Amino acid sequence: MLALKMHKRYYIGMTTRKLFFIVFMAFFAISGSFAQFEFSKREWNEQTLVPADSFVYDDLSDIASECGMVTLANSAPLPVGEIRQAMSGIDPEKLSPASRARYERIEEYLASEYYSAGSGVLNVGVKARAAFEVTGRSNNSIARDWDYMHKYNAQAPIVEVPVFISVSDYVTIESDLRVSENYWSINESSNWTNIPIGGEISGLDFLWPKTAYMSAGVPINGKYAFNFQLGRGSMEIGTPMLDSVVLSDDMEAQAYATLSFFSPAIVYNASVIQLETKKYFYLHRVAFRPFRWMSFSVMEGTLANAELDLKF
């Protein structure tokens, strides 16, 4: 019994020393990271996710078609680094004036800047936006449908403040804080602005953030990349003219985890998507591009009405 007590004391002592050492090293690392603290403008790093409803995916698909090639960057959301890799096979000098303008628009978007404070390794930043919209109708009985409120026609929030935390080019954490109208308020026929000031239905959208995620990845030789995403937001596969029957960005604010590998010839994705408290969608997808002008993909999915089960 005495030996057992001595052993327990020794174990507790070792645990305390290890914990103190870990805390000390973490404090030292963070202090060193902020040793050259500064305020500046920074571009999105390679792991920042491009939202599923962004114009980037449609523009990139159309530009690639003009070049006689297909792109494997056709699932969303994707990190900035993977989209840049997909664009590396396109020569903008050979594009038509219209496609060159769209190519430059993508480049400008991927180089978006935000105000940050940090050391260059660890940074915290925001990119505030404000928008005021007015909608006119020839007849007040005309209500807006879902197509009017989605993607390119989506009503902008009156105030949106995405908050970023980044670690070099390897990790990005983002959450979009916003003030916007909810679905029912937008759909009121008497509503003509994006100010959530009530009406027949309380106007403020309380389901925020719409997008929040942690994206971590490792680029390899500028051609390959591993990425892991854990977040909440819209997802989509493919760039169909109609909504995807597999996974569509019409379904907002879903919780998901995705592990992916990207290369010029092969892309692999494994996703777990939570639809309800005990309903999960497990999806595996492999896409191949044996030639510049041809690609094919294989998908396998399971919808389980049960708690999370990693055997899928």
Q: Residue 210 pLDDT more than 90?
A: no
Q: Residue 144 pLDDT more than 90?
A: no
9 pLDDT band, cuts 50/70/90, is very low
pTM above 0.85, yes or no: no
Spatial distance between the Cα atoms of 84 and 52, rounded to a whole number of angstroms: 16
Place of tokens 């060159």: 100
Spatial distance between the Cα atoms of 236 and 247, rounded to a whole number of angstroms: 5
pLDDT of residue 79: 94
Q: Residue 118 pLDDT more than 60?
A: yes
Which tens digit of pLDDT belongs to each residue from 35-65?
A: 566 777 888 899 999 998 889 998 999 999 9
State the sign of the Cα–Cα–Cα–Cα dihedral 270, 259, 233, 71: negative
Which tens digit of pLDDT belongs to each residue from 238-265?
A: 765 555 556 766 677 689 999 999 998 9
**Residue 223, phi then psi, degrees to nearest 5:** -120, -25
Spatial distance between the Cα atoms of 8 and 198, rounded to a whole number of angstroms: 63
pLDDT of residue 88: 86
Q: Residue 13 pLDDT more than 50?
A: no
Contact 91, 100 (CB under 8 A): no
191 pLDDT band, cuts 50/70/90, is confident
pLDDT of residue 14: 44
Domain ranges for the chain: 38-304
Angle at 51 between CA 185 and CA 123, to 5 degrees: 110
Angle at 209 between CA 200 and CA 274, to 5 degrees: 105
Q: Residue 199 pLDDT more than 70?
A: no
11 pLDDT band, cuts 50/70/90, is very low
Q: Residue 282 pLDDT more than 90?
A: yes
Q: For residue 162, is the peptide bond before it cis, meaning its omega torsion is within 30 degrees of 0?
A: no
pLDDT of residue 33: 52
